[in-house]
Amino acid sequence: MNNKEFIAEMARRMEMTTKESSALVQGLCAEIETFLGDEDSISLPNFGTFEVKKKLERVVVSPSTKQRMLVPPKMVIGFKASANVKELLKKLK
Amino acid sequence: MNNKISLQDLAASFAVRKGLPKKQAELFVRTMFEIVQEYVLKEGLVKIKGLGTFKLISVESRSSVDVSTGERIQIESHSKITFTPDKGLADQVNKPFAGFTTVILNPDTKLEDMEAMELNESLLPELKPEELVEDSETEDLPDVEIEEVMPADGEEAGNVAEYEPEAEDSVVTLGEQIEQPVAEQEEEKDMKNESKMVDTEVIRQMVKNAVNKEMKKQRGVVLSWGWVAMCMLLVVALLIGSFVLGYYMGGDAHRPSSTQTVESKVTVKKAKEVKPVKAVVEDTAKSQVAPITSAAPTELQVKPVEAKPVAKYEQMPGGAYEIVGVKGEHVMKAGDNLLRIARKTYGDPALSSYIVFFNHIENPDLVPLGAVLKLPELVKK
């Protein structure tokens, strides 16, 4: 499902035009972005949790050149599916 | 920072941003993630622009060891949902470290050296108090730091380590405490300036005497006690300074603004640094100009402070918290909203009503960009 289909489905369920739903989805994404930008974690019941994790800097060795490189620390977003979604995943098998 | 945001919080914030009714915003958020869940299970992939991609991937079965029993166990193959953020979102989250790139290490660099250096740094705590003093002076706000050091007078001189946390505290609280005195200063600044000139001359003399006396006493002391002596001197000079001030200024000196300002001058003279004084004056000048140039809401914000100079603030009727001071300031940026500011400041979005009340905001849904909000210091009644 790509973005277009998602917007269309969203519009259908919320009974609005695709234009409206597109704008709202964008707004919601921006909202999520600001929260995660503040290092907050967002937990959504029946779906999962988004959280920001800090990855420490580390030294890696390039396999081809054998050079040692220092990779800087970074912040990444982690997503964990909630328990009931995991249940659904099991059933899927 | 590191708050847990629930769906309701997200929806509330979203509703404010888009001007939706809260109910509808909540429904929207719920529906959005329902769709994602449904289709990621059905089709294996959902892409949302601005957020990222949810993907269903299968994990192959592998063998592992049971942590408690040590037995070998087989983990069955299963599926899981992964989320890959869009570039924009990933960059936003990684902003604090955005400037860093991977560097190639010199083959001679040994990591053990780095650890050794860190150790060395931690072995020099005696240097810290002095460093901190300098820091806070260059931050334009000398007076608060002094206040914090004064209570340390009675303590044993050898306890250099104990000065450390206090000085650190002061750096943190500087911004909070300076605002009020500056605002008060505006009114009586002209009148005071003249008398202060005289006062500081006298104080300077006193301080010099005190310093000389102390110097003689301390001369025999071992070198490593130098920092302790410095701290003690500072405190002694301060005490004398405030006594003299109290004498000359009479009842007026009990007001926090005048005491603090002159105190700051004393240390400044002592440390042979003129900068902070200028900074204080500049600050004052700035805040004098501000109400004139900025829009109406800013003028309103300044009023409660000016009208009640003796740390008395208008209280929220029926509120569970008491407004006891100004905690800090916030400049409104695009995408800011009061709920989030309140959450960040107090850890509770519900306290945004105090910000609204304290700043006399007429329409909380419409705060102009660039407006400077004063954040009240709240104490539970």
**Looking at the partner chain, which of B4, B28, B35 has a beta carbon nearest the beta carbon of A6?**
B35
Q: Are residues B91 and B201 in the same domain?
A: no
Check: CB of residue B9 under 8 Å from CB of residue B347: no
- Tell me the per-residue pLDDT of B6-15, one tens digit each, with 9 for 90 and over: 888 888 888 8
A58-61 vs B72-75, strand pairing mode:
unpaired
The model's confidence at residue B337, banded by pLDDT at 50, 70 and 90, is confident
pLDDT of residue A66: 84
Check: CB of residue A58 under 8 Å from CB of residue A72: no
Distance (Å, whole) CA B332 – CA B341: 9
Distance (Å, whole) CA B116 – CA B119: 5
- Tell me the per-residue pLDDT of B250-287, one tens digit each, with 9 for 90 and over: 544 444 444 444 444 444 444 444 444 444 444 444 44
Cβ–Cβ below 8 Å for B94 and A34: no
**Looking at the partner chain, which of A29, A43, A71 has a beta carbon nearest the beta carbon of B51?**
A29
Q: What is the DSSP letter of B371?
A: P
pLDDT of residue B128: 45
Q: What does the domain layout of chain A look like in residue ranges? A: 1-38, 41-93
Partners of B13 on chain A (C-beta within 8 Å) are: 31, 35
Q: B321's torsion region: left (phi>0), alpha (psi -120 to 50) or beta?
A: beta
Question: What 3-state class would DSSP assign to A61?
Answer: strand
Cβ–Cβ below 8 Å for B45 and A25: no
* Residue A85 or residue B261, greater confidence: A85
Q: What is the DSSP letter of B67?
A: T
> Judged by CB atoms within 8 Å, which residues 7-46 of A form the interface with B?
9-10, 13-14, 23-46
- A61 part of contact set with chain B, CB < 8 Å: no
What total number of domains does chain B contain?
3
- A77 part of contact set with chain B, CB < 8 Å: yes
> Judged by CB atoms within 8 Å, which residues 92-111 of B form the interface with A?
92-97, 100-105, 107, 109, 111
Q: At residue B298, what is the residue type?
A: T
pLDDT of residue B237: 72
Cβ–Cβ below 8 Å for B50 and A29: yes
Most confident of B92-106, B110-124, B290-304: B92-106
- B90 part of contact set with chain A, CB < 8 Å: yes
In a domain, B52, yes or no: yes
Handedness of CA B356, B357, B359, B363 (dihedral sign): positive
On the question of pLDDT at B94 being above 50, the answer is yes
Nearest Cα residue in chain B from A65 = B104
Partners of A90 on chain B (C-beta within 8 Å) are: 78
- Tell me the per-residue pLDDT of B9-43, one tens digit each, with 9 for 90 and over: 888 888 888 888 888 888 989 888 888 888 888 88
CA angle B187, B191, B197 (to 5 degrees): 125
Q: Please state the rounded mean pLDDT for residues B353-379.
A: 81
Q: What is the DSSP letter of B83?
A: E
In a domain, B313, yes or no: yes
- E strands, A45-82, are 48-55, 58-61, 68-71, 74-81
> Judged by CB atoms within 8 Å, which residues 341-380 of B form the interface with A?
344
Q: What distances in angstroms separate CA B187 from CA B106, B245, B284, B285, one per listed residue?
A: 61, 20, 10, 12
In a domain, B103, yes or no: no
Distance (Å, whole) CA B192 – CA B106: 61
On the question of pLDDT at B74 being above 60, the answer is yes
Question: What 3-state class would DSSP assign to B249?
Answer: helix
Q: Are residues B342 and B199 in the same domain?
A: no
Cβ–Cβ below 8 Å for B27 and A14: yes
Question: What 3-state class would DSSP assign to B274?
Answer: coil
Q: Are residues B245 and B143 in the same domain?
A: yes
CATH 1.10.1740.10 fits A41-93, yes or no: no
Residue B197 C-alpha, separation from nearest chain A C-alpha, in angstroms: 47
Distance (Å, whole) CA B252 – CA B328: 27
On the question of pLDDT at B178 being above 50, the answer is no
Q: Are residues B238 and B255 in the same domain?
A: yes
Chosen domain end from B289, B313, B338: B289
CATH code assigned at B76: 4.10.520.10
Lowest mean per-residue pLDDT among A28-37, A70-79, B175-184, B367-376: B175-184
Domain extent for B276: 127-289
